[in-house]
């Protein structure tokens, strides 16, 4: 690569001497991330379309063990969030940071390590998730070796970015840089705290948190992954690329300041709104509601700042396809950030939670905000660094309208379906009986799922059209890998001028900005989590709740491996409709041995919290047949077959190490129990085998399906007794 030259030139302007330096922007790294964004975007969207079609054609689209819905859905979310959006973030970062700071990235080597390391992480995710290696925590499914790799690569990226900021030629840090700094430090904190886990083997671990505590940490992470990976970096990109594309300054500097500080302070408190009406302490739920509702103000401040930047330029918006994408993106951001606070209100959340309404809400943000902004940036950026014109503005306009229609066909049916879903779940007959079985509500959803699939197909088709357009654009130009630039050297001494805004002080000091940002974002998490972990009364114990038997523990791990939590919840809310359908509402003390928690966030299938207890209890034979061939037991079910569990032998050799791991996490198995665990597992498995044999089902006792049946039959049985004392819990043998 061409050696970077830095030359000093002296110019005389009036009586002032200005020292200028020549340098080169690194466009090669921008190109790499741009290509990765486009490719992974199509891959991630195709995985999502595939998952959507599985709910319409569950038997014909499902391709077996490694490509079931429970494995493809996490693959889709990880691919879209971390591969498509992640590469899009870095593409925009590397382009804008260099120009905002008037310097090349500090280290080309670190830039390359960052790029290739991130792509290898994505490939690792694409391999391990279909194979069933998962932590079972939404948006954080990747297992511990990959978590460590993510940490290392994130530090590489942050180090390169921050040293570049320190070596800048531009004294003041533009608003986009504030958001970039906040993203780096907050994502690092979120990832590390949520990924504290105890390895059991090379690709298996248990989170150190359990039950209610794990749920709080997970949704503190999950909501703020949306906040600080899908929102704040894209707001930074909005503040750079929208004014650039419109050739206009940002509407309001003061509004930018309010938007930034209010957003990063309030966002971090909002995670508990994912756990309303759950076993989470009420005070934590209330905090989540208050701050979630308050989020509407800074969020809309940012949207208004973005849209009003275009004041006087609407004629240009009609003609410029890039601005069309950016305007729809900012509008979708406004819609999503209005709807989110509304959904955090308890009366609305009682309808929306566990339904397709939430899925629609998330995708308005994902498809509209992240997707359309990324498309607009790609169309604007690639022709510039390849020194050419966009191959076809007509194709880009076609992409815009196809993608916009795709979003509408995707979201509107899902809003309708979600509200209908919830109302059907809650409907009673005049005699006081539940009007609809859960399976009936699934059947009613299928036409809406089909429309969703059509919308998704349109959106993917638009993305493929974009890739074709960009490939032709790139081939018509030539990459300017090292773009020459010139800027004045940073003058070390600075004198504050009259009337200068007070916020300018911190804009000139990146290290204090980083520290203050860290403090601001830690406050909310600390206030919510410290009492939950330190105050025993927040998680009361129940004496009848016992640790899982070895067979049940193995069955639970298989349940997590198969991604059952993406379709089934294990959290009965205190509504009459739910207690009538499922049984007694869930208590915090039930989950003290759940590593990880399995409360879920969507009910494609019924809640399983009381599956093994009371009126919900089904025979071992029913569970066997249902897992082997769901449609033969539940006509109209969209559940895939788990026939491979009948064929696969249970790895009982892992039982002792799992028991020891649980003991380290505080689960009260007797000392030395790992030596007895396999014998107890075998005894319980033979009991289930005998029950199946009575119904002419001959299956060896060492099959995985036996362990899953044991786990399902255990669910909800611990609190059938009225013992709610706080005595130490002994092992249930």
pLDDT, one tens digit per residue, over 476-486 is 999 999 999 99
pLDDT, one tens digit per residue, over 83-132 is 999 999 999 999 999 999 999 999 999 999 999 999 999 999 999 999 99
The per-residue pLDDT for 540 is 80
Does residue 367 carry a pLDDT above 90?
A: yes
List, as residue ranges, the binding site: 76, 223, 273-274, 361, 363
* One domain, residues 510 and 582: no
Please report which helix (H) or strand (E) contains residue 458, including its range: helix 438-476
DSSP 3-state of 461: helix
Residue 438 lies in a domain: yes
* One domain, residues 218 and 154: yes
Residue 537 lies in a domain: no
What's the CATH number where 598 sits? 1.10.760.10
For residue 220, give its domain range. 20-490+505-528
Does residue 725 carry a pLDDT above 70?
A: no
Return the structure tokens found at 186: 């907050």
Report pTM.
0.94
Residue 4 lies in a domain: no
Does residue 731 carry a pLDDT above 80?
A: no
Sign of the torsion formed by the C-alpha atoms of 69, 71, 72 and 77: positive
Q: Please list the residues that pair with 12 across neighbouring strands.
A: 17
Rounded CA separation 723/718 (Å): 10
* One domain, residues 561 and 439: no
What's the CATH number where 440 sits? 1.20.210.10
Confidence of residue 7 (pLDDT cuts 50, 70, 90): very low
Rounded CA separation 28/590 (Å): 54
Q: List Cβ neighbours of 412 (8 Å cut-off, separation of 6 or more).
A: 360
* One domain, residues 592 and 469: no
The per-residue pLDDT for 729 is 33
Q: What percent of the chain has pLDDT over 70?
A: 95
Please report which helix (H) or strand (E) contains residue 384, including its range: helix 372-385
Does residue 8 carry a pLDDT above 80?
A: no
* One domain, residues 299 and 413: yes
Does residue 498 carry a pLDDT above 80?
A: no
Alpha helices in 268-371 (DSSP H): 282-294, 296-308, 314-319, 321-343, 346-352, 356-363
Residue 545 lies in a domain: no
- Range scoring the smallest mean pLDDT among 262-266, 413-417, 500-504, 529-533: 500-504
* One domain, residues 350 and 406: yes
Does residue 723 carry a pLDDT above 90?
A: no
pLDDT, one tens digit per residue, over 614-627 is 888 999 999 999 99
The per-residue pLDDT for 18 is 63
φ/ψ bin of 390: left (φ > 0), alpha (ψ from -120 to 50), beta (otherwise): beta
Helices (H) and strands (E) in the chain, counts: 28, 5
Pairing mode, if any, of strands 16-26 and 482-488? antiparallel
pLDDT, one tens digit per residue, over 330-342 is 999 999 999 999 9
* One domain, residues 471 and 564: no
List, as residue ranges, the binding site for Cu cation: 223, 273-274
The per-residue pLDDT for 615 is 82
Residue 12 lies in a domain: no
pLDDT, one tens digit per residue, over 642-668 is 999 999 999 999 999 999 999 999 999
pLDDT, one tens digit per residue, over 205-264 is 999 999 999 999 999 999 998 899 999 999 999 999 999 999 999 999 999 999 999 999
* One domain, residues 397 and 281: yes
* One domain, residues 592 and 680: yes
The per-residue pLDDT for 683 is 97
Residue 100 lies in a domain: yes
* One domain, residues 522 and 560: no
* One domain, residues 591 and 700: yes
Q: How many domains does the chain have?
A: 2
DSSP 3-state of 485: strand
Residue 60 lies in a domain: yes
Does residue 11 carry a pLDDT above 50?
A: no
Residue 723 lies in a domain: no
* One domain, residues 521 and 581: no
List, as residue ranges, the binding site for heme b: 76, 361, 363
């Amino acid at each position: 690569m061409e050696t970077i030259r830095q030359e000093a030139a002296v110019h005389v302007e009036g009586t002032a001497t200005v020292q200028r330096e020549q340098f080169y922007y690194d466009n090669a790294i921008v190109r790499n991330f741009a290509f990765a964004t486009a490719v992974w975007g199509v891959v991630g969207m195709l995985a999502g379309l595939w998952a959507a079609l599985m709910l319409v054609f569950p038997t014909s689209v499902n391709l077996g063990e490694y490509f079931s819905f429970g494995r493809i859905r996490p693959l889709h979310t990880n691919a879209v969030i971390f591969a498509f959006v992640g590469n899009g973030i870095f593409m925009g970062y590397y382009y804008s940071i260099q120009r905002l700071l008037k310097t090349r990235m500090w280290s080309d080597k670190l830039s390359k390590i960052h790029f290739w390391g991130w792509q290898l992480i994505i490939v690792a995710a694409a391999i391990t998730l279909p194979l069933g290696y998962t932590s079972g925590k939404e948006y954080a499914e990747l297992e511990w070796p990959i978590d460590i790799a993510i940490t290392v690569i994130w530090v590489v990226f942050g180090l390169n970015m921050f040293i570049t900021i320190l070596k800048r030629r531009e004294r003041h840090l533009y608003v986009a840089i504030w958001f970039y700094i906040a993203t780096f430090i907050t994502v690092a904190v979120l990832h590390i705290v949520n990924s504290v886990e105890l390895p059991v083997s090379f690709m298996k671990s248990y989170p150190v948190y359990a039950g209610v505590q794990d749920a709080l940490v997970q949704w503190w992470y999950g909501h703020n992954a949306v906040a600080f990976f899908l929102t704040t970096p894209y707001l930074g990109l909005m503040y750079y690329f929208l004014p650039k594309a419109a050739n206009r300054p940002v509407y309001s500097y003061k509004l930018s300041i309010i938007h930034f500080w209010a957003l990063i302070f309030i966002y971090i408190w909002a995670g508990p709104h994912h756990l309303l009406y759950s076993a989470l302490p009420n005070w934590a739920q209330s905090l989540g509601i208050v701050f979630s509702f308050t989020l509407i103000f800074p969020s809309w401040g940012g949207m208004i700042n973005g849209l009003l930047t275009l004041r006087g330029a609407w004629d240009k918006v009609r003609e410029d396809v890039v601005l069309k994408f950016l305007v729809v993106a900012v509008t979708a951001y406004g819609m999503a950030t209005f709807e989110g606070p509304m959904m955090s209100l308890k009366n609305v959340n009682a309808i929306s939670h566990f339904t397709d309404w939430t899925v629609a809400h998330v995708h308005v943000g994902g498809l509209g905000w992240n997707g359309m902004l990324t498309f607009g940036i790609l169309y604007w950026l690639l022709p510039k660094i390849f020194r050419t014109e966009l191959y076809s503005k007509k194709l880009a306009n076609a992409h815009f309208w196809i993608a916009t229609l795709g979003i509408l066909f995707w979201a509107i049916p899902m809003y309708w379906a979600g509200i209908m879903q919830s109302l059907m779940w809650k409907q009673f007959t005049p005699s006081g009986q539940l009007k609809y079985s859960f399976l009936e509500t699934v059947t009613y959803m299928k036409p809406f799922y089909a429309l969703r699939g059509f919308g998704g197909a349109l959106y993917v088709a638009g993305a493929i059209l974009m890739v074709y357009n960009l490939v032709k654009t790139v081939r018509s130009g030539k990459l300017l890998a090292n773009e020459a630039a010139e800027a004045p050297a940073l003058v070390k001494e600075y004198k504050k001028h009259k009337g200068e805004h007070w916020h300018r002080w911190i804009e000139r000091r990146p290290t204090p900005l980083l520290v203050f940002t860290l403090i601001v974002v830690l406050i909310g998490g600390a206030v919510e989590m410290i009492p939950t972990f330190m105050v025993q009364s927040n998680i009361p114990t129940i004496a009848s709740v016992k640790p899982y038997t070895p067979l049940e523990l193995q069955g639970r791990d298989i349940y997590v491996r198969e991604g059952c939590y993406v379709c089934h919840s294990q959290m009965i809310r205190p509504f009459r409709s739910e207690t009538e359908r499922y049984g007694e509402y869930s208590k915090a003390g039930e989950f003290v041995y759940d590593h990880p928690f399995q409360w879920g966030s969507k009910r494609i299938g019924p809640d399983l919290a009381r599956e093994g207890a009371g009126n919900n209890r089904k025979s071992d034979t029913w569970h066997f047949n249902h897992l082997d061939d769901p449609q033969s037991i539940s006509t109209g079910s969209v559940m895939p077959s788990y026939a491979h569990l009948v064929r696969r032998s249970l790895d009982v050799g892992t039982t002792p190490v799992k028991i020891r791991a649980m003991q380290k996490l505080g689960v009260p198995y007797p000392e030395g129990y790992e030596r007895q665990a396999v014998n107890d597992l075998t005894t319980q498995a033979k009991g289930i085998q005998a029950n199946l044999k009575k119904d002419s089902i001959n299956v060896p006792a060492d099959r995985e399906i036996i362990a899953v049946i044991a786990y399902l039959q255990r669910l909800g049985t611990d609190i059938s007794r009225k013992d709610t004392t706080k005595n130490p819990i002994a092992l249930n043998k």
